[in-house]
Amino acid sequence: MDVFSVTVLGSSAALPTANRNLSGQLVKIANQYLLIDCGEGTQIQLRRNKISIQRIDHIFISHLHGDHFYGLIGLLSSMHLLGRQKPVHIFAHEGLKKAIEVQLEVSQARLSFELNYHFLKNESGVVLVENKHFRVESIKLKHSIPCCGFLIREVEKPRNILKSAIEKYSIPIKDRPGIKMGEDFLTQGGKLIKNEEITSDPLTIRSYAYCSDTAYLESILEMISGVDLLYHEATFLEDKKERAKETFHSTAAQAAEIAKKAAVGQLLLGHFSARYKEMDLFLSEAKVIFDNVALAEDGIEYMIG
């Protein structure tokens, strides 16, 4: 089974701390690298974790608060200095293009590769990337400015034809694609062989949802229902619930409530306010509501599924 994982590059909100960088994650799927958010210092985190920046072809920026994109121009500059030629696809709200172009203009810089911008519509269910391996869709979140999360899900795989069945029934190559899609097989002698007798189930589809930054929002439940891993911001604890509401953020308890109602496999909390020093308090608060919880830690790779 191919690796499907997320490496946390930053888990702090607004301000970095001595051991927590600003928002950034590297998703590995189908031997491709996807970067989600790019706070200041992200490229250093990539190097620290021995992740090749030149393997990143798709960058997703959830929203245009600085702690989620101030590291992008530095990353793009490093790609250029290292001789990159391949285009980079950037999925973000429209203002990001202007922000990048202004920085390139005032520094009289010109990149050696093309930037292809794909503007987010601030809607849920918009397919951003789709290939034979996986699909990336947007999730509309509730924040002080337009903000999107991202749902990354493997594409359903065909059934596996049993080698013994191929030999036993002399299944021609021309019939195999249909059988993989669930069709029964009719032998040359006219006998109908049921699909379940000659195939095995495909590998289970795995999925990951990234939700940061957002107030408590039940409208996302349908999209994230049953995902293997949910990353949900938990900027505050319940002691700052009113502050969370004012700033359109969530508490650990609210993130756990979303995870419970969506029946996800595991909840990963992150985007912690720098005011908190005892991080286990986030874990304790969430576990009262949803048991399978982990705290996002910089540099840790979390396997999905």
pTM of the model: 0.91
pLDDT on residue 24:
98
CB-neighbour burial class of residue 281 (10 A; exposed 0-12, middle 13-18, buried 19+)? middle
pLDDT on residue 160:
82
DSSP string, 30-89: TTEEEEEEE-TTHHHHHHHTT--GGGEEEEE----SGGGTTTHHHHHHHHHHTT--S-EE
Q: Enumerate the domain spans of the chain.
A: 4-157+203-303, 160-200
pLDDT on residue 203:
81
Q: Which of 67, 213, 228, 298 is catalytic?
A: 67
Task: Name beta bridge partners: 295.
Answer: 269
Task: Name beta bridge partners: 267.
Answer: 230, 293
Task: Name beta bridge partners: 152.
Answer: 136, 208
Give the class (CATH, top level) of 4-157+203-303: alpha beta
pLDDT on residue 186:
87
What amino acid occupies position 76? L
Task: Name beta bridge partners: 287.
Answer: none
Q: Cα–Cα distance between 285 and 252 in angstroms, integer?
A: 6
pLDDT on residue 148:
98
pLDDT on residue 1:
73
pLDDT in single tens digits along all 305 residues of the chain: 789 999 999 999 999 999 999 999 999 999 999 999 999 999 999 999 999 999 999 999 999 999 999 999 999 999 999 999 999 999 999 999 999 999 999 999 999 999 999 999 989 999 999 999 999 999 999 999 999 999 999 998 888 888 888 888 888 898 888 888 888 888 888 888 888 888 888 788 999 999 999 999 999 999 999 999 999 999 999 999 999 999 999 999 999 999 999 999 999 999 999 999 999 999 999 999 999 999 999 999 999 98
pLDDT on residue 193:
85
CB 39 within 8 A of CB 68: yes
Q: Is 37 labeled as catalytic in the residue annotation?
A: no
pLDDT on residue 162:
87
